[in-house]
Structure 1
Amino acid sequence: MLEQLDHLLSHFALYLGVAVEVLALALVPLVLLRRKEPSSTFAWILTLVFLPGLGAALFLLHGRDRVRWPARRKRAADEVLTSRLDHARRETRVDPSGAVGELDEAERCIFRVCEGLGPLVEVSHGNRVELYENGGVAQNAINAAIEGAQESAFAEYYLIRDDDTGARFRERMTQAAARGVDVRLLIDAYGCFWLRKRWFLPLRRAKAKVAQFLPLKMALTLPMNLRTHRKIVVVDGRVAFTGGLNVGDEYVRETGGKPAWRDTHVRIEGPAVASLSSVFLRDWHFMTGSEELPERFFPDTGQPGDAVVAVVPSGPDEGREAIHRVFFSAIVGARRRVWITTPYFVPDRALLVALETAARRGVEVKLLLPGHSNHRVTQQAGRSYFTELLESGVQVFEYLPGMIHSKTMLVDDEISLVGSANMDVRSFRLNFEVHTLVHDRSLAQELEAAFLRDCEASRAIELDRWRHRPWLERVGEGAARLVSPIL
């Protein structure tokens, strides 16, 4: 009896192995039909051929083109709402042409790129922008703004934790809703997967409106690549917050013996607030169907500052990879320096060549990355680019105190970029992101000072020493780079 069972199991294992290999090979034509980047296609084929079981599972979960249908839906929803947004904002929209015209040629070209990316990318002047380099300070400012809300409080987040920081944020939103403020919370269904229904009960009892972005229908069909990675808070249509900060203890204080994550956020007053409101309301309409756009959502904010701000949303719906184009334009247009901070660095060939070329023509290019990352494989993939970057003259630093989650770029003396997008394929092509491009000398000076402080707490990667790192590390980095197009 046991011999027969053993015989059956051995044959079952053999047949299963053959079936998996056949399935993996059958998926290769589907990979070729996707018409993606050659590097991505090649990586999928190699994985399917040499690791058929893992490759087939990964492709069925991640690789199938789930982008087209939701992207088409999102695009159609945006088109419906855009004309209504234009009507609602007809009295308060500011013509940006005068301010952009006053910039010098190189700066003007970067903003012209933004203006050419379509109606979803908006440029305005007369804004005031405040930088937060401390997550606790930023979260306190967000909570205080919500606490003072009189008309509306909108929030869109990829991640909210069920912890003390999340509870305090929820309390402010709940209290605002209870006193009659129009409170709307849009969360990503995947990023907030572990938030249980009971977490939302106080909000719903207070008549706050809550929605999920692309809810997960089944665990085996997770559309993991179509997430809203945006972080937006808009209060009364007059003040907005955006950047890299999610809602959780790790962003504001030490947790588990580890220091708080280093992140960067901005507070905006002025006409650009309406642009961020529009991004939120398009996403809200996409998930709820609501077309409610009272003019109170778009009050006359005046022009409280001198900053020119481009709000750049990007996602698979718009098809232009808007943030990627802005990053590329900023790098190739730089004359003196490009200082970049990003937690996840998996550049495509265009950005890699842009960085190397900028350094070779004498621009000071500095790249600040985490020394301790919460995504080890992605970190290894990023490190695989160090040698060619260093050989081109790019200076690379790894931040040592803890995880650095900032997504910033400083270009020359007056251009700053702050937002939610990482420098990787997922942010450029698969997720819904939002970045701000700001022309303001004082903000650039603050970002410069923060970057220099971060570099002081980092280790500089030296080319000679890097070339002599252990052989196994280089093999691991090469393997991670091979699969980086599908990370």
Structure 2
Amino acid sequence: MIDLGFSLAGLAGTLFKILYFAVVFGTIIIVILDNRNPLKTIAWLMVLIFVPFIGLIIYFFFGQDQRRERIISKKSYGNLLQKPRAEYQAQEAVQLPPNYNSLISLFRRTNQAFPYDGNDVTLFTDGYQKYSTLIKELYKAKDHIHINYYIFENDELGHLIRDVLIDKAKEGVIIRVIYDDVGCWSVPNRFFDEMRYVGIEVRAFLKVRFPLFTSKVNYRNHRKIIVIDGVVGFVGGINIASRYLKGVEWGQWRDSHIMIKGKAVHGLQTAFLVDWYFVDHTLLSSDRFFPRIESCGESLCQIVTSEPIGPWRDIMQGIVLAIGQAREYFYIQTPYFLPTEPVQTALKTAALAGIDVRIMLPDKADSKLTHLGSRSYIEDMLKAGVHIYLYKDGFIHAKTMVSDDCFSSVGTTNIDFRSFEHNFEVNAFMYDKTSALKLKQAFLKDQHVCEEVFYKNWVKRPIRVRVLESAVRVLSPLL
């Protein structure tokens, strides 16, 4: 009996090993057949080969490709776009900047992002500016308020914004709120229930719960959108959390956000309503959401979204094209710098061609792992002549670009694999001198509290630091 028991145990162990390695091998074949970015494929293969058990778990939760899914049917999307398209077509002849015709066309063709003229754009460079203005605009709402945020924190600021929304709901304003389920994991249900009690429609984006914990945990809605009555919109990097006001222990939280008044708000409204369709299965395309808006400024603006669903990486491809079209300078602010190969090549090529390319990164960051990975890319950039600045006055979380006093962008997209490949993101792309100069002045002001990195000093970092950074870089497509 003892020998039989050992035999059965040995057989069970052998069968488990065969099954286990069959699953690992099958997963490796699936990764290869996905035809992903080669760097990402290699990173997954290394994880699956060298730490197969952990690798299988990570791949199940974070690695599966969702590109073949659709967030909204073509017919429903076409119905939703009818009014924004009509407003775009009704514009008088719009003077497009010659250098950016191809970029505007790219976004219009792949993203249905219509370029609207006559917008007024207000730039905010800290939470106090943004939230004082936002609260005033929320209290002006007469018909509806639409909010989509990655983080809606259960703290003083979160309670303040929630209470404003409750006040407006009691006045009869229709309010819809989307929050990201992972971004708000620490927020108790009662926080959102208090809004639901007064009639506010609240939905979580891609709820993740055991035992239904799936790969969708990796695909998060990182957008920050507010639309008020279809005529005022907010977009940028500032979430709803007190740290955007109080800062971090080593300094201020430096961020960028914009308020848009004008026809480009139709783009923000469309982005919100597509996400609403996804979470609520309800198509909202009434004229009330797209009121007629007269020109109120000089900015030509496109609202561009990107998501892991679909064949293109719209914002990443646009950034590559924009860098290539720079003639004098191209400045970037980003909290995380884990660029894909096309973005790396574009930045280095521009610098080698004599374009003044500058990248501003935080000296200290809120994520140690991504920060280490980010620093591993600095040496290559410096070799090509890219200027790197480390922000020393706290944490810079702004996601901005500006070029040639004509092109600028503010949004939610970081220069990293996660934003380009996995997250649902949104950026405003602006083609006018006024907006560009605002972003340029903000960059140059921040530069005064930065330390410029020089190649001869950077390569003298301790070998243990360089090895650690390089090790994290290998996994950067997975971060």
Letter in 1 for 2:270: S
* 1:50-449 equivalence runs, <5 A: 50-65=50-65, 67-68=66-67, 71-72=69-70, 74-76=71-73, 79-89=74-84, 92-93=87-88, 95=90, 98-101=93-96, 103=97, 105-119=98-112, 121-218=113-210, 220-254=213-247, 257-449=249-441
CA distance change for structure 1 residues 141 and 318 in 2, over 3 Å: closer, same or farther? farther
SS at match of 2:267: helix
What is the alpha-carbon distance in structure 1 between the residues aligned to residue 242 and residue 251 of structure 2? 11
Displacement, 1:85? 2.4
Contact 1:216/1:222 (<8 A) preserved = no
What is the alpha-carbon distance in structure 1 between the residues aligned to residue 346 and residue 247 of structure 2? 37
What is the alpha-carbon distance in structure 1 between the residues aligned to residue 52 and residue 367 of structure 2? 24
Q: Who is 1:37 aligned against? A: 37
Letter in 2 for 1:387: E
How many residue pairs match? The answer is 471
Contact 1:100/1:111 (<8 A) preserved = no
Name the % identity.
31
Letter in 2 for 1:474: R
Of the three residues 448, 458, 461, the one matched with 2:453 is 461
What is the alpha-carbon distance in structure 2 between the residues aligned to residue 51 and residue 89 of structure 1? 50
What is the alpha-carbon distance in structure 2 between the residues aligned to residue 37 and residue 346 of structure 1? 14
Contact 1:20/1:52 (<8 A) preserved = no
What is the alpha-carbon distance in structure 2 between the residues aligned to residue 90 and residue 364 of structure 1? 37
Contact 1:185/1:209 (<8 A) preserved = yes
Letter in 2 for 1:30: I
Letter in 1 for 2:60: L
What is the alpha-carbon distance in structure 1 between the residues aligned to residue 347 and residue 85 of structure 2? 40
Pairwise CA RMSD of aligned residues?
2.4
What is the alpha-carbon distance in structure 2 between the residues aligned to residue 327 and residue 402 of structure 1? 27
TM-score (normalised: structure 2): 0.92
CA distance change for structure 1 residues 167 and 233 in 2, over 3 Å: closer, same or farther? same
What is the alpha-carbon distance in structure 1 between the residues aligned to residue 312 and residue 124 of structure 2? 30
Is the deviation greater in 282-291 or in 388-397? Answer: 282-291
TM-score (normalised: structure 1): 0.91
Displacement, 1:94? 5.2
* CA deviation string 1:116-166 (max 9, x = no partner): 3242x1211111111000112112212221111111100001111100011
What is the alpha-carbon distance in structure 2 between the residues aligned to residue 323 and residue 288 of structure 1? 26
Displacement, 1:33? 2.4
What is the alpha-carbon distance in structure 2 between the residues aligned to residue 86 and residue 195 of structure 1? 34
Displacement, 1:15? 10
Contact 2:299/2:434 (<8 A) preserved = no
CA distance change for structure 1 residues 368 and 90 in 2, over 3 Å: closer, same or farther? closer
* CA deviation string 1:85-136 (max 9, x = no partner): 24445764454672244x2x213332222223242x1211111111000112
* CA deviation string 1:253-297 (max 9, x = no partner): 235x44342110000011001111011011101211222333121
Letter in 1 for 2:27: L
Q: Who is 1:3 aligned against? A: none
CA distance change for structure 1 residues 49 and 333 in 2, over 3 Å: closer, same or farther? same
* CA deviation string 1:211-232 (max 9, x = no partner): 1111114264252221111110
What is the alpha-carbon distance in structure 2 between the residues aligned to residue 400 and residue 17 of structure 1? 52
Letter in 1 for 2:100: E
* CA deviation string 1:334-383 (max 9, x = no partner): 00000000111111111111101101111100000111111222122221
* CA deviation string 1:19-73 (max 9, x = no partner): 86665445322222222111111111112222223322211221123x146x32x
Letter in 2 for 1:60: F
* CA deviation string 1:196-247 (max 9, x = no partner): 2100122112111111111114264252221111110000111000011111
Contact 1:380/1:477 (<8 A) preserved = yes
CA distance change for structure 1 residues 441 and 90 in 2, over 3 Å: closer, same or farther? closer
What is the alpha-carbon distance in structure 2 between the residues aligned to residue 187 and residue 321 of structure 1? 23
What is the alpha-carbon distance in structure 2 between the residues aligned to residue 347 and residue 405 of structure 1? 16
Q: Who is 2:472 aligned against? A: 480
Q: Who is 2:462 aligned against? A: 470
What is the alpha-carbon distance in structure 2 between the residues aligned to residue 27 and residue 286 of structure 1? 29
Gaps of 5+ in 2: 1-8
Is the deviation greater in 388-397 or in 444-453? Answer: 444-453
What is the alpha-carbon distance in structure 1 between the residues aligned to residue 92 and residue 457 of structure 2? 50
Contact 1:100/1:308 (<8 A) preserved = no
Gaps of 5+ in 1: 1-8
Letter in 2 for 1:252: L
Contact 2:252/2:393 (<8 A) preserved = no
What is the alpha-carbon distance in structure 1 between the residues aligned to residue 92 and residue 455 of structure 2? 45
Displacement, 1:486? 1.3
CA distance change for structure 1 residues 22 and 475 in 2, over 3 Å: closer, same or farther? farther
Contact 1:99/1:125 (<8 A) preserved = yes
CA distance change for structure 1 residues 86 and 469 in 2, over 3 Å: closer, same or farther? closer
CA distance change for structure 1 residues 254 and 390 in 2, over 3 Å: closer, same or farther? closer
What is the alpha-carbon distance in structure 2 between the residues aligned to residue 462 and residue 54 of structure 1? 39
CA distance change for structure 1 residues 461 and 181 in 2, over 3 Å: closer, same or farther? same
Letter in 1 for 2:435: L
SS at match of 2:217: coil
Contact 1:95/1:124 (<8 A) preserved = no
